[in-house]
A and B are shown apart, each in its own frame.
Chain A
Amino acid sequence: MNPFQYTRSSAAAGAIQSLVKEPQAHLLAGGTNLIDLMKMGVVVPERLVDINPLPLKGVEKTAAGLRIGALATNSEVADHPQVLQDYPLLSLAINAGASPQLRNMATVGGNMMQRTRCNYFFDTTMPCNKRNPGSGCGALEGYNRMHALFGASDHCIAVNPSDMNVAMVALGAVVHVKGPKGERMIPFEEFHRLPGDHPEKDNTLERTELITAVQLPASAVAFRKHVHYLKVRDRTSYAFALVSVAAALDMDGSTIRECRLAMGGVAHKPWRLHGAEAFLKGKPASEDTFRQAAAIAMQGAKAYQYNKFKLTLAPNAILQALQTASA
């Protein structure tokens, strides 16, 4: 690992100042992704600003919903009684990711900031526009089995690897951030971005901004009774998603009052399925309507040489997730 300077920060303002003063400074939270990337030489910070002492751990109920501190660990959130009761989809998604040890370390903010698991991004001998802008995309004509179906560009076809993000985007969470110019809120769906001409930018967070919390809206509690997170991967546990589906339904008998759907493993960002959601509104919960919704969700999908199987896998996963959630 490259040598670096280390600063322990106990106030958000100090951490932000460190980022302003030093362009090569990185924030360190749980470290489960960053330390790994530093060992591989993918990320080479000159300074790490350890933000673990910041008071951003709490999970508290507010008038607007549930406010989850950016430094709450994935385990703390997944096991939190309020999350289990009101937002069980989030708990299911978090527990589908990584391992218990990693979930004990990884934080909510860190999970949002984790980089893609594209092998060409991790292998510093390979071209990658995300790691080294302008060097090309190794995956485009390479072994692209794990890669995107939606929203990719000629510069990058990598996917966001998080499970937590898929539930967050489905539940309509809002991200609270703080920077040198003050605080602002970003809808979760606008936090991560598509690669376009700048795949080196994973999200819309400014380099000098800090995530302080994620807010789950009170309105999303309506979906708590009919949820499912289906993750399809190469082994039963502890692997990244080939395709994952977060489904949450607000049911009136056997009719869908409203529904939330999002996919993971298919785009550079957690992929909310607005078209399918709108179609399902007011429809009966049946295999036929679920199949039609899945077909709508797959419009515009584009596969590459080795991930064509996802064109069949993804709609089947949507169907199964909806069937399980509505049962």
Chain B
Amino acid sequence: MSTKPGKGPGNPEKEPASDGVLSGSRRDFLKQSSLLSAIALTPGTIVRAAENQWDEKFADVAEKVPLTLEVNGVPYSVKVEPRVTLLDLLREQLNLTGSKKGCDRGQCGACTVHVNGVRINSCLSLAVTNEGKKITTIEGLAKGDQLHPMQEAFIKHDGFQCGYCTSGQIMSAVALVKEGRTRSREQISEFMSGNICRCGAYSNIVKAIQEVKNSQI
């Protein structure tokens, strides 16, 4: 979402060689008419940007903002465009790809990380709003080769199938235990509801969380 490759004049879409004159002009007509209807429905800024092909040019000159933050105990000083999310910063610039992009809209929880010890959806947090903060991602849980107890418990109880939601589930689960929201199966389910698992590993995820909680008492 944040760094789409440009389709400006320097990177024209190639027409297939077999396209005849007729289909070519039909395509042009469709392009023009869809652009016009798009303009009719879009707010001022986009319309002006489309008219002047500003979008990518604007992005080129848009000021990158210097940002200092700590990720898994390592200090970073980077420059980011304001529209880059914390998730994209982690994955694309810091090469920490453990946090996953699922829905990218705060609905699935695959991007869950801790900011100053609190679990959040990194896909809805602009990187620039995390100045001076301490981020923990799934890569920061293990101590060397020694996995975090929650990671061990997820493996033991088979708390996943495809694994795509797992890093978010584990980050949420670690926070959940710290929050003390593990009184009952129902409370665990309610306070894990921000993490969706389409393989349906929920019952084993709850078992893993209960084991970690019980081992701490």
Contacts and interface: CB of A to CB of B under 8 A. Distances in A.
Interface stretch (A1-9, A85-93, A308-316): A1-9
Contact of A105 (B62, B63, B124): B124
Contacts of A305: none
B97 interface: no
A305 to B, nearest CB: 25
A32 interface: yes
Given A100-B191, A104-B119, A41 B46 contact: yes
Nearest to B176: A100
Contacts of A44: 42-43, 45-46
B59 to A, nearest CB: 5
Contacts of B194: 98-102, 238
- What 10 pairs between A and B have smallest CB-CB spacing? A99-B194, A6-B82, A237-B193, A238-B193, A1-B83, A101-B194, A3-B59, A44-B45, A101-B121, A35-B124
Nearest to B37: A125
Interface in A70-119: 75, 98-102, 104-105
Interface of A: 1-6, 8, 24, 28, 31-32, 35-36, 38-39, 41, 44-46, 48, 50, 52, 75, 98-102, 104-105, 124-125, 132, 135, 236-238
A112 to B, nearest CB: 18
A313 to B, nearest CB: 22
Counting contact residues on chain B (CB < 8 A from A), the size range is 35 or more
A132 B58 CA distance: 25
Given A3-B55, A36-B106, 19 more contacts: A1-B2, A2-B49, A2-B83, A4-B82, A5-B62, A5-B63, A24-B45, A28-B126, A31-B129, A35-B124, A50-B126, A50-B128, A99-B109, A100-B179, A102-B124, A105-B121, A135-B41, A236-B193, A237-B193
Contacts of A124: 41-42
Contacts of A24: 44-45
B214 to A, nearest CB: 21
B129 A125 contact: no
Interface in B110-163: 112, 118-121, 124-126, 128-129, 131
A105 B86 CA distance: 13
Given A1-B1, A32-B106, A52 B172 contact: no
B129 A28 contact: yes
A165 B42 CA distance: 30
B85 interface: yes
A185 to B, nearest CB: 29
12 contacts: A1-B83, A3-B62, A4-B82, A28-B126, A31-B124, A41-B42, A46-B45, A50-B128, A75-B118, A100-B179, A101-B120, A236-B189
Contacts of B129: 28, 31, 50, 52
Contacts of B211: none
Nearest to B105: A36
B94 interface: no
